[in-house]
């Protein structure tokens, strides 16, 4: 009877190849392996946990270091910048001027995300970097992310999506030097 019960648990081991499900089943199989004193069931459970962990670690490395992952992160930063730009333009509509700093946007929208998503060194980084914002005059400003190299004013800087720049005060790289003179 004990042999039939343990064979049933071998079949559960197939589900350990599914991420997250493999983690849960792996924990259960480790427990059953200990209770039944069956090393094979125990190691199938360990395998399920390790497989799920390697899936997530591999995904993190892929998103951080692959060209596709980098392109997706830049695209997400551009979307974030566009949302902040919308808040800056809304601020001007409400108060008649552009904000002096991004922190002033909190008075309009407490949930505005002004952190630079590309400049964070990692998930557990304690240093928070803000998007780069500079108000030139009453009708012009610049807003950008420092990009993947985390150095502002370089070729990889990321700017918001702008379909018609004449409808906003946003100044894209290159044009800001003309305004500051």
Handedness of CA 38, 41, 47, 48 (dihedral sign): negative
31 and 76 both lie in a single domain: no
**Full domain range(s) for residue 28:** 2-65
86 and 159 both lie in a single domain: yes
Q: What is the structure's pLDDT at 79?
A: 92
Q: Give me the percent of the chain exceeding a pLDDT of 90.
A: 40
pTM to 2 decimals?
0.68
pLDDT in tens, 9-53: 778 878 888 888 889 999 999 999 999 898 999 999 999 999 999
pLDDT in tens, 38-96: 899 999 999 999 999 999 999 888 877 888 888 988 999 999 999 999 999 999 999 99
- Residues 6 or more apart whose Cβ sits within 8 Å of residue 154: 146, 147
51 and 73 both lie in a single domain: no
101 and 119 both lie in a single domain: yes
Indicate if the pLDDT at residue 171 is higher than 70.
yes
| C-alpha closest to that of 134 among 88, 82, 71 | 88
CATH assignment at residue 157: 3.30.700
80 and 50 both lie in a single domain: no
Q: What is the structure's pLDDT at 118?
A: 83
88 and 164 both lie in a single domain: yes
100 and 171 both lie in a single domain: yes
Distance CA 157, CA 177 (A): 16
95 and 133 both lie in a single domain: yes
Indicate if the pLDDT at residue 170 is higher than 70.
yes
Please give the average per-residue pLDDT across 111-129, as a whole number.
77
102 and 157 both lie in a single domain: yes
80 and 40 both lie in a single domain: no
| C-alpha closest to that of 92 among 162, 140, 143 | 140
| C-alpha closest to that of 47 among 75, 15, 70 | 15
123 and 111 both lie in a single domain: yes
Q: Report how many domains make up the chain.
A: 2
Q: What is the structure's pLDDT at 1?
A: 45
48 and 71 both lie in a single domain: no
């Amino acid at each position: 009877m004990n042999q039939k019960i343990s064979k049933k648990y071998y079949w559960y081991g197939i589900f350990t190849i599914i991420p997250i499900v493999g983690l849960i089943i792996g924990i259960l199989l480790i427990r059953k392996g200990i209770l039944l004193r069956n090393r094979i069931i125990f190691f199938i459970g360990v395998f399920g946990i390790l497989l799920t962990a390697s899936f997530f670690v591999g995904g993190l490395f892929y998103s951080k270091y692959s060209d596709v992952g980098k392109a997706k992160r830049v695209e997400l930063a551009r979307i974030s910048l566009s949302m902040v730009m919308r808040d800056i333009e809304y601020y001007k509509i409400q108060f008649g001027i552009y904000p002096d700093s991004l922190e002033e946007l909190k008075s309009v929208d407490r949930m505005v995300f002004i952190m630079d998503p590309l400049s964070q060194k990692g998930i557990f980084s304690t240093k928070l970097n803000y998007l780069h914002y500079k108000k030139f005059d009453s009708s012009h400003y610049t807003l950008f992310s420092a990009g993947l190299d985390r150095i502002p004013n370089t070729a990889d800087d990321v700017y918001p999506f702008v379909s018609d720049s004449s409808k906003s005060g946003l100044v894209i790289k290159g044009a800001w030097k003309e305004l500051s003179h």
